[in-house]
Chains A and B, each alone.
Chain A
Amino acid sequence: GDSVTQMEGPVTLSEEAFLTINCTYTATGYPSLFWYVQYPGEGLQLLLKATKADDKGSNKGFEATYRKETTSFHLEKGSVQVSDSAVYFCALSAPGGANSKLTFGKGITLSVRP
């Protein structure tokens, strides 16, 4: 079945450091790919998405490119802030139609120190 693998965490960075969080997936066809962020005690917020190969999703300085050849969707940010401290989840929805379940990675905790 479909699966998402995220790099092991947690990750601790200093403010203004460069961020990369790795995400790879296993799925047949072309799934849609997402990054969600969860702040302490809250639900998940959609951070960005990509629906086809070579698409780049971006939001709030974060970017991720849908790489079909490496089945990856790595999240990057050029300069992190303390307010970016949260848990980040990579997810996919199966190809073949809208309105289907999301499959999530385990999530990774990012802590940014001043």
Chain B
Amino acid sequence: NAGVMQNPRHLVRRRGQEARLRCSPMKGHSHVYWYRQLPEEGLKFMVYLQKENIIDESGMPKERFSAEFPKEGPSILRIQQVVRGDSAAYFCASSPEGAREQYFGPGTRLTVT
């Protein structure tokens, strides 16, 4: 069973551009979570989605950030008009129905120049 897939692994964007991060959950997992890891810090929750629905977006910045998990295809985390402070590692995790543990992808490391 393939693990959680994320792409790209590394993404470089200039200030003001858009960043689009993709996450394919493990087979059979319908719950997807996004976390951000800033240097020297732990992971901070951003958003939790189930197919076609946002369940919890309490950690998502109010502006420029959005997420979706369509019926078909990967989950997308979109950051519009990126700023230097958005530089971080973004991790996606997935879990099956009824589980408490989550399984993480390798992350996308975003660098804003």
Contact = CB atoms under 8 A, between A and B. Distances in A.
A101 interface: yes
Interface in A42-57: 42-46, 49, 51
Contacts of B50: 99
A105 B41 CA distance: 8
Contacts of A44: 43, 91, 93, 104
B104 A32 contact: no
B98 interface: yes
A89 interface: yes
Interface residues of A, number: 22
A112 B46 CA distance: 33
A106 B45 contact: no
Interface residues of B, number: 31
A34 interface: yes
B71 interface: no
B103 interface: yes
A100 B101 CA distance: 9
Contact of A45 (B31, B33, B43, B104): B104
B72 interface: no
Interface of A: 32, 34, 36, 42-46, 49, 51, 89, 93, 98-107
25 contacts: A32-B100, A42-B106, A43-B104, A43-B105, A43-B106, A43-B107, A44-B91, A44-B93, A44-B104, A45-B104, A46-B101, A49-B100, A51-B100, A89-B43, A98-B97, A98-B100, A99-B99, A100-B100, A101-B33, A102-B43, A104-B35, A104-B42, A106-B40, A106-B42, A107-B41
Interface of B: 4, 6, 31, 33, 35, 40-45, 48, 50, 55-56, 58-59, 91, 93, 95, 97-107
